Each structure stands twice: as C-alpha cells, then as structure tokens.
Chains A and B, each alone.
Chain A
Amino acid sequence: MRWPVFLALVLAVLAALAGCARIAAVGPGRVEIGGGLSVQAAAGWNRLPRGAFGAGAAWTRDGPGLDALLFVAGHGEGEPLFAHTRERKALLLRASMTPTEVMELWATELALADRRMVTVGSLMPAEFAGAPGFRFQYAYADADGLVFDGYAAGAMIAGRLYLIAFSGTRAHQFRAHWLAAAALIGSARIVSD
C-alpha cells in the first residue's frame, strides 16, 4: 500500500496548517477571491486552507491529489505566481509580460513543483473577466505517474495578472468537473478599487 507521495505532501501541508484552518465548503453563489476578483461558484467546491499549493486560493472537488482549481488574483510587477517562489528572482512577474511568457512561467512553476512531463500549449486570445485575455492548456504527471490535464485562463489587467487554472486527472476528474470549472472561469469578474 504505497500511498501517493504527492498526496502525502499535500496532506502534510494541510496538517501543518490545520491549527488555523480547515477545509471549508464554498458556494453556491458569488465568492470573493481577493485582489478584486470574484467568481460565481456552483455547489461542490471545497476551499483548501490558506497557503495550500502556495496559491492565493486553492479549491478542489475530489481532493487536492485528484483535482485542483488555483487562483492568481491580481499579482503585479515583481510578485511571484506562488508564494513559495518569492525568493527566486528568475520567477517573478513583470507587468509587461505577454501571454506567451505567462504560459512559460506556468510551465516552470509546474516543473519546479515535482511535476514530470510538463507540457503547455494551445495558447489563444480569449476574453477573461470582460477584458482581453488568453487561455491555454497544460498537462503533467505527478510523482506517482498519475497524468493530469489542465486549462488556464487569465488576463493582464492594468499591469496585474489574474488567472484561474483547473487541473484534474486525465482518467476522470478533468472530464468530470470540466463543466463546473469552465462555468466558474467564465463567471470571473474584477472590481478595481
């Protein structure tokens, strides 16, 4: 019985954080993510404790080892995509980045998080939160060899990056939760202060 290494790590992070937070249900309804970003969530999403994956916010339906919805909510010049890469100067955002460069940075973050066979592609212009933005697809295998598909959509708005990414196992979770994730991404709104 070799429990997946990746899950053990995620779990451990959760356990370490357990003192201050537990996994909570979110929605149904409009949910504020932070940085002015809000989304319309259907029932069924669980919000992981703050700090999971190093993301601004991370949600899941079946558990973080099977599917994950990650939010980047308005990160600007000199900020990292994920909190744990703050110290790596080569991984910081620039306000002038093109979608191509954001997608490349995403691939690096995945590779550094012990994902294997990371691929990114199918980059297209696409509206995000009513602004001109982009979308792309990605894929990877975790340390146990479980293969994941992913879809990310975002926009650089007034020098700040907003991005929502959903990934799930290729065998089931990506397909099973795709409609819920796509509806959520399509509902993104940004209120600037």
Chain B
Amino acid sequence: MPPFHRLFLLLALLALAGCAGGSAREVAQLRTADGPASIALMPLDLTLTRRSAGGSEHPVADWTLAAERNLTLALMAAARERGLRLQPVRHDLWTQPSLRPLHLLHRGIEGAILAHRFGDSRNRLPAKAGPLGWSLGREAAVLRAYTAADYALFVSLDDSYASAGRKALGIASLLLVGMPVSGGRQTGLATLVDLQSGAVVWARHLDRSTGDLRQPAAARETADALLEDLPQ
C-alpha cells in the first residue's frame, strides 16, 4: 500500500475512533402475514484478534471459530426469547456464485451505514430520507429464493483481546508512569434486510471495550447487546 494511502486510512480510523454505538430502524414491527416473521441468519463475519504489547492486531483462528459457534447459538437463543424465528443458513453460503453480487453489495452498504449513519456527524447524508434509507434492491430476491425467509440478519464483528504481554505492559505503565494502555475492543454492525423489498430496515452499531465471544455466556451478552432494539 502506498504511504499516502496508509495516511488516509489512518485519518479514516481517527474519524471513526470517536464514535460510539447506536441503532436506527425503519420499522417498529416485522411483517407477520401468518405467525412470526422468519429471519435467516447470514454467515457471521467475525475476526477475533490478539493485540500485542506494541498494539498490532493478529487474527486468532481457534478463537474465531469458537466465536462463530458461540455467537450463532447465542443469537438464536436471544431471538427465541424475543419470539423471533431465527434460522442460520449454511456457513458456506457465500461460495454460491449467484450470491456474490449481493454479498459484495451488502458489504458496501455496511460501509456506507458505518460511515454516514453511525460515523462522524459531518459525514451524514442530509438528503437521505428516513432513519436509514439503504436497499439491496432486486438482489434481495435471490437471497429470498435461497433462504425462503422474510428477513435476513447480517452480523459483522471485530473483537480484540490484549495479549499477556499487553496486559503486563498496561500494569507496568500504570505503576511506573500512571498512564493506562488500551486493551481489547468489540466493534461491529448488525443489519436486518427485508427480503421482500430489499430495504435495510434496522441497523445496530456496537463499539465498546467489553464483551468476550470466546465464552458462550459472554457471547450471549453480546448477542443481547446486538439485538437490543431489533423490531419484534
């Protein structure tokens, strides 16, 4: 990556660093023609990383796999408690070539929501109508054909943990110079897409220094935080 790109990325990260979590919804209720609406849980987009003493982040494979399992079960339990029918799709769904455009489009929309809805207030799109106003359009029908569900729930999450070295550094820094050292962070975005219209009807942004997806019980807490104001 050319150096000036790196500078730009750094600026972008700084712009995002100040923001906390939040949520936005277009509808108060999920459409129910006959009984509770069915929601397909898309393959989770998770990365669990270890933060070294120096602050760089390193993906950890076994944590990530454990987190996929823990958060899937936790989300299903949390949805059940809310009276929602949440059904995970097969984990290799995105290898289907016909779903590639939808997957990339959704990722682009995630980026836009993060930047223009939950990011710096100067990046809001003032001409955009409604609380969200993004749509996957006709591509949603392709996913509807695959899942036979009314809605699709997407969850993307980065979860970092301080390594033993970073924890030790934090203690040393506090004792010797009285300065804290930042530890782990959980940042993510959940979006709910109406597969009939393609509209993104709900989004929730998480950005906090708590949470642990490596443990089933703590994953349940993250699931509850993610689905907090999901329309019923």
Interface residues in chain A, defined as those with a beta carbon under 8 Å from any beta carbon in chain B: 1-4, 7-9, 11-16, 18, 22-27, 43-46, 60-63, 65-66, 144-147, 169-172, 175-176
Contacts and interface: CB of A to CB of B under 8 A. Distances in A.
A12 B188 CA distance: 19
Contact of A172 (B105, B123, B188): B105
Contacts of B15: 11-12, 14-15, 18
B101 A7 contact: no
B52 interface: no
Nearest to A43: B127
A65 B5 CA distance: 16
Contact of A16 (B8, B128, B136): B8
5 contacts: A8-B12, A11-B123, A14-B122, A23-B126, A66-B109
Interface in B136-160: 136-139, 156-158
A12 B11 contact: yes
A2 B49 CA distance: 13
A46 B125 contact: yes
A46 B126 contact: yes
B229 interface: no
Nearest to B14: A15
A27 B127 CA distance: 9
A61 B109 CA distance: 12
Nearest to A14: B123
B210 interface: no
A53 B65 CA distance: 39
Contacts of B169: none
A1 B157 contact: yes
B12 A11 contact: yes
Contact of B139 (A7, A61, A66, A171): A171
A5 to B, nearest CB: 8
B12 A1 contact: no
B101 A147 contact: yes
B77 interface: no
Contacts of A26: 127
A175 to B, nearest CB: 7
Interface in B57-112: 101-102, 104-105, 107-112
B8 A172 contact: no
Given A12-B12, A15-B15, A16-B11, A23 B110 contact: no
Nearest to A3: B111
Contact of B111 (A4, A12, A13): A4
Given A12-B15, A175-B137, 19 more contacts: A1-B156, A4-B108, A16-B8, A22-B123, A23-B116, A23-B124, A25-B126, A44-B127, A46-B127, A62-B109, A62-B133, A63-B111, A63-B125, A144-B104, A146-B104, A146-B107, A171-B136, A172-B135, A172-B138
B189 A1 contact: yes
A16 B119 CA distance: 14
Contact of B127 (A4, A15, A45): A45
Given A22-B122, A60-B125, A7 B108 contact: yes
A170 B5 CA distance: 26
Contacts of B102: 171
A80 to B, nearest CB: 18
Given A11-B119, A12-B12, A1 B108 contact: no
B108 A66 contact: yes
Contacts of A144: 104, 107-108
A169 B101 CA distance: 9
A123 to B, nearest CB: 27
B216 to A, nearest CB: 21
Contacts of B112: 7, 62-63, 65-66
Given A9-B9, A46-B127, A172-B137, A18 B122 contact: yes
